[in-house]
Amino acid sequence: MTDKLDFTPAAGRPEWTPFYDLAIALVTREGRWRRALLRQVAPEAGDRILDVGCGTGTFVVMLKRAAAGASVVGLDPDADVLARARAKAAKAGVDVQFRKGFARDADFEEAALTKVVSSLVFHQVPMDEKRKGFAAMYRALRPGGALHVADYGLQRTPLMRAAFRQVQRLDGFDNTEPNARGVLPELMADAGFVAIEEARVIKTPTGSISLYRAVRPAK
């Protein structure tokens, strides 16, 4: 955390944001986990999808390209990344909306969304925000709607543990350690989600990235 911002920015420090896209491509096997996440979300016409902590907008653009008839909104507290995301979407020629806000603000419309997604966000937020974020994402979904999260999760092997230390040095131990111990499914359950599943675990040079899915129960 910096003392000027009340969140951890995309690349750990605000002055490194311009290098975020390049860094993610180099150190996370980005193509592999983003394509896997897209297949899991399976966006389709009529979907209303929110990307929480959308960052520079790479995944919102992928969602909209995959399903032109879906409504896609990106949410992020950082005005700098939102400007970059808007420029990326404009360059790609896709019509997506952006809002400034935290995960805890995801319920700006209640029970309105078919899908909520989030990638590489929850490892870098405090425990209280992880809880509030999942609760707000739950409220934002229609009954029967699905949550899809790709993030550093349980680090199962000494090699992945050691690799994840690089992220921990950048994003801080307190926020990242609960993820490494596998807390995310528990927090999803606490928020009310059911059918929680760690669908994939992808090893990367900075630790393993887990793809989770969960559902807001139908009424």
Ligand X SMILES: C[S@@+](CC[C@H](N)C(=O)[O-])C[C@H]1O[C@@H](n2cnc3c(N)ncnc32)[C@H](O)[C@@H]1O
List of residues contacting ligand X (CB under 6 A): 7-10, 24, 52-55, 58-59, 76-78, 81, 102-103, 119-121, 124-125, 129
Q: Residue 219 CB, nearest distance to ligand X (Å)? A: 28
Please give the radius of gyration of the chain, using alpha carbons only, rounded to the nearest integer.
16
The distance in angstroms from the start CA to the end CA of the chain is 40
Q: Which is nearer to ligand X, 71 or 119 (CB)?
A: 119
Compare residues 50 and 160 and give the one whose CB is closer to ligand X: 50
Based on CB atoms, which residue is closest to ligand X, 81 or 191? 81
Find the residue with minimal CB distance to ligand X: 55
Residue 119 sits at the vertex; the CA angle it makes with 108 and 125, to the nearest 5 degrees, is: 70
| Beta carbon of residue 101, minimum distance to ligand X (angstroms, whole number) | 7
Min dist CB 33 to ligand X, Å, is: 9
**141 in Cβ contact with 171 (< 8 Å):** no
For residues 102 and 100, give the distance between their C-alpha atoms in angstroms, rounded to a whole number: 7
Q: Which helix (H) or strand (E) holds 200?
A: strand 194-202
Nearer to ligand X, 58 or 204 (CB): 58
Q: Which amino acid is at 190?
A: D
CB of 124 to ligand X, least distance (A): 6
